[in-house]
Structure 1
Amino acid sequence: MTHDRSKTRRPTIYDVAKQAGVSPSLVSLVLQNPVRVSEKRREAVQAAISELGYRPSRAATALASTRTKSVGLVIDDYRNLWFVDLLRGMESVLTKDGYHVLLADSRPGENRISDAVDGLLAMHIDGLVIAAEPSESMLSGAGVPTVVAGWRSGLPAGADLITNDDDAGGAMAADHLLGLGHTRIGHLSGSGGAAAHRRDGFTGRLRGEGIDVLVVGESGGTSEEDGYGSAGWLLDHHPETTAIFAANDTMALGALGAIRERGLAVPSQISVVGYDNSTLAKSRYLELTSVDNRSDVVGADAAATLLERMGNGASAGARKLIEPVLVIRGTTAPPAANPGQ
């Protein structure tokens, strides 16, 4: 039995060159810098590529140039869907310049962030976006242009910072609940820079109005399970609570579970506000009131800043705050709607 290997193997740059009647080096030039090739030859190469179904090898392209056209993104937890809009915003900018994003998860744990970054650096990325708490070893710098997306407890040396104004966002959540008439309010918080800024903005605004807010979980995590546990403790020890502000939408989801287990109704008996305006908040089932941290804008600005750093060696140290927006949905209402008060 004979087998025509030419019909099954992946076409190479040499096949394209033969089909177009040019040299392999000219095909490579068309792929890397087409404006340097005459229109006639460029069209011949592009026609051959289309006819053969040729797909350039990123590895081969990287070997032929000083760049891999790849950017690393480190997030802190796949389960927290805030990063979806961040990634979408980054790609809306980077793909126009032929870059692709390599994603690494660094859920909290010893050396997880260092391992994630080391793995990306081993792939010779051209730049790095950090959307997680940097490790001690990272604070000295990653060795490539780096942008930090979102407030963090520390900032690596030479890194730019693009973040949502979480202090203002926390204040927006407080103003919303105050405007509805709530005065017995709890806050589900956690460790990390973003949670700290949201907490400061929220509690600062309430205390400025003479209201003492109950903060739970300040040194803990910010997962759904953390939200569930913190909300359960709050409701069991302070049943008079009429509103809860969670540090993110994932924690708010856990809080909703704890509220339901205790036979309470949202929002008629207790209001809930999240943060991030993630896909969870937007779902028609939850209809969660949430502060939109505009992750897509943060991602797009982080990518643009990184391109500038990689392209012309722009100096580091940029700081940019993105203004948040409160999105009111069905999980908040005045406390007067509570028949038990």
Structure 2
Amino acid sequence: MITYSLIRGVEMATIKDVAKRSGVSVATVSRVLNNTAPVNYKTKETIMKAIEELNYKPNIIAQGMRTKKSKTIGITIPDYINPFYYELFKYIEDAAKKEGYHVIVSSTGEDINEDINCIDDLINRNIDGLIICTYRGDKETIKYLLELSKKIPIIFMDNLQLDKPVNSVYTDGYKGMKEITKHLISLGHKNIGFVKSIAKYKVANDRFYGYKDALIEAGIEFRDELVYEGNYHIQSGYEAAKYFFTDKKLNPSAIVSSTDLMAIGAMNYIKTIGLRIPEDVAIAGFDDIYMSRLISPPLTTYRQPIEEIAKEAINLFINKVNHPNAKNRTIVLNGEMVIRRSTDILRNEIERI
């Protein structure tokens, strides 16, 4: 079941509004509401006054009104229409059902300022825990989540690298992108363009350094101008390829993208200018979304073990529910490279899908 988050037609005060009015962080407001740590009396008084002035409705957890489990897990994703997150959500939903839970999902969108509001809305739906599919590196958000994790289980699907251990599961993006880049190098490519995801995502930087280190280890010069920062969408991949081939000094013989969607966008542009894939330009992506098998030519990519990620996330959640004091765990999974026609220079080679 997908529940679209946030009642946008009605302007409601959020925990960020309270923090701003009080002149403190969201985490401090959370500490007051949840009583998870001591807060200076004067600060607490200021926060309570702001809550009253804004008519903020603290979430059910903070009010201490929870008398029974809702058997509901909240999930945050950055984008409803991204096929990768849709597939991931469906696997999470299936795994949760087997444990007697249902899920609701909310999209944070591309505005980093919406992260806390999105999470707060899910909390107000009386969820038993949270699964955060992508962390954007916002310090205020992570402080808020760490406070909430003292009350409910929170599972991260990202490599956070925090001082405090958290429950997390993710694919080794560094290793995967390094493997894909080495594959292109093995085919003789040296001038390889890279389409990077949004820099504020930790996962985007992991993949970028996998690409960069693969070049350096192969004795190939890393060039900043061969890196284009896009987002997760097809259009940004199209714009990336346009950038690479408009400047004659760049003209890469191969492009590797940190997502399949952007790789597909790059392929679309390359076709419009009359270049052939892979004979003129090889293309590779990352994720192995369903579309990557259907496009022409099929896309070489690094397959994330989406189903396994979802199952491990639910296992971490259930373990935290049953054993609240258990140590937090980080699970790093390996994917696999899938070589398809988009990087294969031999026309008669059997496609491996």
Scaled to the shorter chain, the TM-score interval is 0.7 to 0.9
Q: 1:290 corresponds to which residue?
A: 301
Question: Which stretches of structure 1, 4 residues or more, deviate above 6 A after TM superposition?
Answer: none
Matched, 1:274 2:285: yes
- Structure 1 residues 286 and 81: alpha-carbon distance in aligned structure 2, compared to 1, 3 A threshold: farther
Q: CA deviation at 1:317?
A: 2.9
In structure 2, what is the Cα distance between the partners aligned to 1:89 and 1:288?
Answer: 23
Out of 91, 96, 111, the position equivalent to 1:89 is: 91
Q: CA deviation at 1:137?
A: 3.0
**Structure 2 counterparts to residues 1-341 of structure 1, below 5 A:** 66-134=68-136, 135-140=138-143, 141=146, 142-143=148-149, 144-151=152-159, 159-190=166-197, 191=199, 192-214=201-223, 215-218=226-229, 220-237=230-247, 238=249, 240-283=251-294, 285-334=296-345
In structure 1, what is the Cα distance between the partners aligned to 2:267 and 2:107?
Answer: 26
- Structure 1 residues 186 and 85: alpha-carbon distance in aligned structure 2, compared to 1, 3 A threshold: same
Deviation by residue 1:120-139 (Cα, 9 ceiling, x = unmatched): 10001111010122543321
Q: Secondary structure at the match of 2:83?
A: coil
Deviation by residue 1:42-69 (Cα, 9 ceiling, x = unmatched): xxxxxxxxxxxxxxxxxxxxx9951100
Q: CA deviation at 1:259?
A: 0.9
Where do 5+ consecutive residues of structure 2 fail to align? 1-64, 349-353
Q: CA deviation at 1:286?
A: 4.8
In structure 2, what is the Cα distance between the partners aligned to 1:291 and 1:304?
Answer: 24
Q: 1:4 corresponds to which residue?
A: none
Letter in 2 for 1:241: P
Letter in 2 for 1:160: N
Letter in 2 for 1:233: Y
Q: Secondary structure at the match of 1:101?
A: strand
- Structure 1 residues 165 and 71: alpha-carbon distance in aligned structure 2, compared to 1, 3 A threshold: same
Q: CA deviation at 1:175?
A: 1.7
Q: Secondary structure at the match of 2:252?
A: coil
Deviation by residue 1:278-297 (Cα, 9 ceiling, x = unmatched): 11212254511110111221
Q: CA deviation at 1:327?
A: 0.7
Confirm or deny: 8 A CA contact 1:173 1:326 kept in the other structure: yes
Backbone CA RMSD of aligned residues: 2.5
Q: Secondary structure at the match of 1:84?
A: helix
The range that moved more, 110-119 or 320-329, is 110-119
Q: Secondary structure at the match of 2:322?
A: helix
- Structure 1 residues 110 and 167: alpha-carbon distance in aligned structure 2, compared to 1, 3 A threshold: closer
Q: CA deviation at 1:100?
A: 0.7
Confirm or deny: 8 A CA contact 1:246 1:275 kept in the other structure: yes
In structure 1, what is the Cα distance between the partners aligned to 2:299 and 2:120?
Answer: 37
- TM-score by length of structure 1 reads 0.74
> Rg larger in 1 or in 2?
1
In structure 2, what is the Cα distance between the partners aligned to 1:230 and 1:193?
Answer: 21
Q: CA deviation at 1:71?
A: 0.5
Letter in 2 for 1:209: A
Letter in 1 for 2:220: I
Deviation by residue 1:246-283 (Cα, 9 ceiling, x = unmatched): 01011111111221222111111101001000112122
Q: Secondary structure at the match of 2:189?
A: coil
Q: CA deviation at 1:299?
A: 1.3
Confirm or deny: 8 A CA contact 2:165 2:329 kept in the other structure: no
Q: Secondary structure at the match of 2:341?
A: coil
- Structure 1 residues 293 and 102: alpha-carbon distance in aligned structure 2, compared to 1, 3 A threshold: same
Confirm or deny: 8 A CA contact 1:292 1:326 kept in the other structure: yes
Q: CA deviation at 1:91?
A: 2.6
- Structure 1 residues 315 and 217: alpha-carbon distance in aligned structure 2, compared to 1, 3 A threshold: farther
- Structure 1 residues 308 and 258: alpha-carbon distance in aligned structure 2, compared to 1, 3 A threshold: same
Deviation by residue 1:161-210 (Cα, 9 ceiling, x = unmatched): 21101111011101211221211111111211111111111210111111
Letter in 1 for 2:173: D
Confirm or deny: 8 A CA contact 2:298 2:342 kept in the other structure: yes
Q: CA deviation at 1:155?
A: 5.6
Q: CA deviation at 1:216?
A: 2.1
